[in-house]
Amino acid sequence: MKHKEASRLRAGRVEMTGATDENGVLVELSGFDIERLARAEIDAYNERRAGRIASRRDAAREADDLRRFTEAYIEAGGGRNEAASAFREQRDRQATEAASRASASVLQDSRRRIRKVL
């Protein structure tokens, strides 16, 4: 298999190829890529790559969570068709609770800062 290059020279300019691996993640920069690119471009590319990796990992985790929830839901007497909607409801409820806790924490911090000023 031929190594995929993340960048190539075209008309004296370096351009990114957008090459991805079998998982759809941007390929790692090679030594040639690093020689061709400025530090800021290398950092930006690595951030985009890390973001895609994290996104893929989160999607896999979400699918695994749904699979395990569905199995437990069916074992508890629920139906397979209702499991996905029950999973979304539970996830939304957890997100609402987390946002509420974060909001309360920010409010307390704000009140503390105000009290210090007064």
Instruction: Give me 1's structure tokens.
Output: 């298999």
Helix then strand count (H, E) for the chain reads 3, 2
* Side-chain-facing half-sphere of 30: CA atoms under 13 Å: 11
The Cα–Cα gap between 5 and 9 comes to 11
Instruction: Give me 74's structure tokens.
Output: 């069916």
- pLDDT value at position 67? 95
Task: Give me the amino acid identity at 68.
Answer: R
DSSP 23: T
The Cα–Cα gap between 18 and 8 comes to 10
pLDDT tens for the chain, 118 residues long, are 466 778 888 887 887 888 888 877 888 888 888 888 899 999 999 999 999 999 999 999 999 999 999 999 999 998 888 999 999 999 999 999 999 999 988 888 888 888 888 7
